[in-house]
Amino acid sequence: MARYIITQNQMHSVIYKYLDNMFDINSFTKEINPYNKDAYRIDLIDNYGNNTISYFWFGPGEYDDDTKHYGIGNINIHPDIVDTLRQMITIRESKVMDIIADWFSEKFNEDIDEISIYPERRNPPVY
């Protein structure tokens, strides 16, 4: 298999185009938290109905466990999305997750503070 060196901008462009083709950003669900009007969730489901990216915004304030914060944006990325991109491009898992978060942030104009893989993988990925 041939290996090519690409610039960071080219890598971002490839991943952004892949995600643009994978998700229809005009068909997403936004659900307001019934217990806190300042908290909501955005779910993106891929064109095949399998993989998701979920975003959670917890508005500023104090929560049941006495936690105070100034607003937290959390994104959960399905492991198959991360693994597919890592098979296409040799890239660290944390880097591809950051790029996915950047893509989501640009598309939806949302702040992202935490990034995680959900659900957890059953088996370690093979590259």
* pLDDT above 90: percentage of residues in the chain: 61
Residue 127 lies inside a defined structural domain of this protein: no
By CB atoms closer than 10 A (0-12, 13-18, 19+), residue 23 is: buried
* pLDDT above 70: percentage of residues in the chain: 97
Residue 78 lies inside a defined structural domain of this protein: yes
Q: What are the φ/ψ torsions at residue 90 (nearest 5 degrees)?
A: -75, 105
The distance of Cα 58 from the centroid of its chain, to the nearest Å, equals 16
Residue 7 lies inside a defined structural domain of this protein: no
101 neighbors 115 (Cβ within 8 angstroms)? yes
Rounded Cα distance between 95 and 79, Å, is 14
The tens digit of pLDDT for each residue in 9-64 reads: 999 999 999 999 999 988 888 999 888 888 999 999 999 888 899 999 988 887 67
Residue 70 is classified by DSSP as S
Residue 2 lies inside a defined structural domain of this protein: no
The distance of Cα 34 from the centroid of its chain, to the nearest Å, equals 23
Residue carrying the six token digits 């955005």: 42
Residue 74 lies inside a defined structural domain of this protein: yes
Strand 52-58 to 72-77 pairing: antiparallel
Residue 5 lies inside a defined structural domain of this protein: no
Q: According to the model, what pLDDT value does residue 75 have?
A: 98
- Look at residue 77 and tell me whether its pLDDT is greater than 80: yes
Q: According to the model, what pLDDT value does residue 29 have?
A: 87
Q: According to the model, what pLDDT value does residue 92 have?
A: 92
Q: According to the model, what pLDDT value does residue 109 have?
A: 95
Residue 126 lies inside a defined structural domain of this protein: no
- Look at residue 65 and tell me whether its pLDDT is greater than 80: no
User: What's the domain count of the chain?
Assistant: 1
Q: According to the model, what pLDDT value does residue 35 have?
A: 82
- Mean pLDDT calculated for residue range 56-83: 87
Give the structural domain span for 92: 16-22+31-117
Residue 6 lies inside a defined structural domain of this protein: no
Residue carrying the six token digits 């304030």: 61
- Tokens describing residue 2: 């041939």
Residue 25 is classified by DSSP as T
